[in-house]
Amino acid sequence: MATLIKKTKRSKSVNSIWRQPLAVVGILIIATWTILAVFAPWIAPYDPNAQDAEKFLTPSAAHWMGTDELNRDIWSRIIYGARISLPYSLLLVVLSATLGSVIGAISGYAGGKVDSFIMRVTDVFFAFPGIVLAMAVAAALGPQIRNAVIAVTIVAWPVYARLVRGLILNAKQNDYVTASALLGSSALRTLVVDLRPNLSGPVFVLASLEVGNALLLLSGLSFLGLGAQPPSAEWGSMVSMGAVNFDRWWVGLFPGLAILTAVLAFNFIGDSLRDALDPRTAKALRD
């Protein structure tokens, strides 16, 4: 029964997503970036780290987006940059969604003191200036994109924990969960078999809404020099090069546009997915 419900719900929201123009635009943009990232060596006109052009060339037919301080072709670097920004933001979201969901599930299922303790901890994290903590952790671990991912995961999990806990508390009132507990199924079984179908949809939507934020935070850390390091072609650190040479507008403009389009595309998708969910879940996501 539970699986049946899940199926109809899933297919409904998947179908209606194609009817939303914003979602389609978002999917197309992400698909484009994915293709660029996967086939970067064939698409990029130059080696991203080759320093054989001249420095600070303005955009031209030869260098669509100009060259940077170290004579490198910016468009080629942006294409290669997609290989860093996209997978790492996705990884970050998967990590924090998993961590948060597990903590939230424990909290919601255990209830009582465990629950109130965990919820107070998430309260603390919500009160926390996430980027400050992420900066500190990233600095302490050493500036590397991998460490930036860990740092942001540490501050990003509480939203998922709160969502999953809320959903479990709701579901616990449902008859079928009580029934399955009465039938003697174990706590773990109840969680995995009976509740998971109810949780996966909202968690997926929240995660899709958070990919954009993850990308923003990651590239922000790189911009500050706390994420990806030169010479790797990461979009945020490319923008920081533009900040040093702000009078050469093309150096910072194009990598920033790359971030903007990718984040916007994820947000288009996440937003449309949320609208496709039933209103009550959508409200749970907003709160």
Interacting residues toward other proteins by CB under 8 A: 22, 120-121, 123-133, 135-142, 154, 212, 216, 219-220, 223-226, 236, 239-240, 242-243, 246-247, 249, 252-253, 255-256, 259-260, 263-264, 267-268, 271, 283, 286
Q: How far is the CB of 191 from other proteins (least distance, A)?
A: 27
Rounded Cα–Cα distance for residues 178 and 283 (Å): 25
Query: Which C-beta is closer to other proteins: that of 14 or that of 124?
Result: 124
Query: Which C-beta is closer to other proteins: that of 59 or that of 256?
Result: 256
Q: How far is the CB of 263 from other proteins (least distance, A)?
A: 4
> Closest Cα partner for 71 from 47, 87, 53, 46?
53
Query: Which C-beta is closer to other proteins: that of 104 or that of 212?
Result: 212
DSSP string, 39-100: THHHH-SS-TT---S-TTPPS-SSSTT-B-TTS-BHHHHHHHHHHHHHHHHHHHHHHHHHHH
Partners of 106 in the β-ladder: none
Rounded Cα–Cα distance for residues 286 and 275 (Å): 11
Query: Which C-beta is closer to other proteins: that of 151 or that of 195?
Result: 151
Query: Which C-beta is closer to other proteins: that of 13 or that of 232?
Result: 13
Would you call 228 helix, strand, or coil by DSSP? coil
Query: What letter does residue 184 receive in the DSSP assignment?
Result: T
Angle formed at CA 77 by CA 140 and CA 247, multiple of 5 degrees: 85
Q: How far is the CB of 21 from other proteins (least distance, A)?
A: 9
